[in-house]
Amino acid sequence: GAGVSQSPSNKVTEKGKDVELRCDPISGHTALYWYRQSLGQGLEFLIYFQGNSAPDKSGLPSDRFSAERTGGSVSTLTIQRTQQEDSAVYLCASSSRVGTYEQYFGPGTRLTVT
Amino acid sequence: AQSVTQLDSQVPVFEEAPVELRCNYSSSVSVYLFWYVQYPNQGLQLLLKYLSGSTLVKGINGFEAEFNKSQTSFHLRKPSVHISDTAEYFCAVYSGGYNKLIFGAGTRLAVHP
């Protein structure tokens, strides 16, 4: 079946603009995660959705970052008033959270703030 | 809190040589451990995982890892690498209390001809 998809694959934006990044998880997966990967760095956890539970937002770096997940499926990560330090690859992952704890990753969105 | 330490940021190796990428984690009651690989400009792909049972875990592309509880390690090994193994490798631990994977900083494996 289809894997996790993300769009756009690349996004260039001017400092101060808002951006929206989209993630389509694997069908039936109840858990969805957003990570940020800055150049040469590891993965930084941002936010986690599990079913209808309140999301775990503990990793969001500032109040300019927000995310929502509609209908338990598609998720959108929004960054308001982008800054140059927001430039990174944003990765989405989904998990069935049934027994394996394995996360399946999308290809990422490369965000460049100029 | 859980944490993962990848001891080498870069590992250069010649083709057909063996390689070991080291990973240590902070101890916890229940530990689920993973190795992911990231090829250039791609997302992460699962190489192998340890949930329970045999401490020697075999994964894709000829990789294997050994869970060592006493040393809190989960080192990744391959007896003979190929040029195509050049990638970034991430060790991760599942933190049940936090419901998320905690990743190491990554090890860049560079295979030279």
Distance CA B14, CA B83 (A): 9
Q: How confident is the model at residue A97 (pLDDT cuts 50, 70, 90)?
A: low
Query: Is B49 an interface residue toward A (CB < 8 Å)?
Result: yes
| Contact residues, chain A, for B101 at CB < 8 Å | 33, 45, 101, 103
Q: What is the pLDDT of residues A39-89, one digit of tens each?
A: 777 889 999 998 888 888 989 999 999 999 988 799 999 999 999 999 999
Domain hosting A89: range is 5-113
Task: Identify the structural domains of chain B with CATH numbers, from first to last.
Answer: 4-112 (2.60.40.10)
Q: State mean pLDDT over B95-110.
A: 82
Distance CA A43, CA B103 (A): 6
Name beta bridge partners: B88: B38, B108
Q: Is the pLDDT of residue B102 over 80?
A: yes
Give the total number of structural domains in chain A: 1
Of the two residues A58 and A8, the one the predictor is more confident about is: A8
Q: Locate the chain A residue with the closest alpha carbon to B93.
A: A101
What is the 8-class DSSP label of residue B55?
S
Does the distance separating the beta carbons of A101 and B105 come in below 8 Å?
A: no
HSE-up (13 A, CA, CB side) for residue A37 = 26
Report the percent of chain B where pLDDT is more than 90. 72
Q: Which residue has tokens 């982008």?
A: A82
Can you give the pLDDT at residue A50?
Answer: 86
Which residue from A43, A93, A104 is facing B90, i.e. has the nearest CB? A43
Q: What is the pLDDT of residues B1-30, one digit of tens each?
A: 678 999 999 999 999 999 999 999 986 667
Does the distance separating the beta carbons of B44 and A93 come in below 8 Å?
A: yes
Nearest of B18, B21, B15 to residue B37 by alpha carbon: B21
The strand ranges marked E within chain B are 4-6, 10-14, 19-21, 23-25, 32-38, 44-50, 56-58, 64-68, 73-78, 87-95, 100-103, 107-112
| Contact residues, chain A, for B34 at CB < 8 Å | 102
Does the distance separating the beta carbons of A106 and B45 come in below 8 Å?
A: no
Q: What is the pLDDT of residues B31-90, one digit of tens each?
A: 889 999 999 878 899 999 998 888 999 999 999 999 998 999 999 999 999 999 999 999
Looking at residue A14, which CATH number applies to its domain? 2.60.40.10
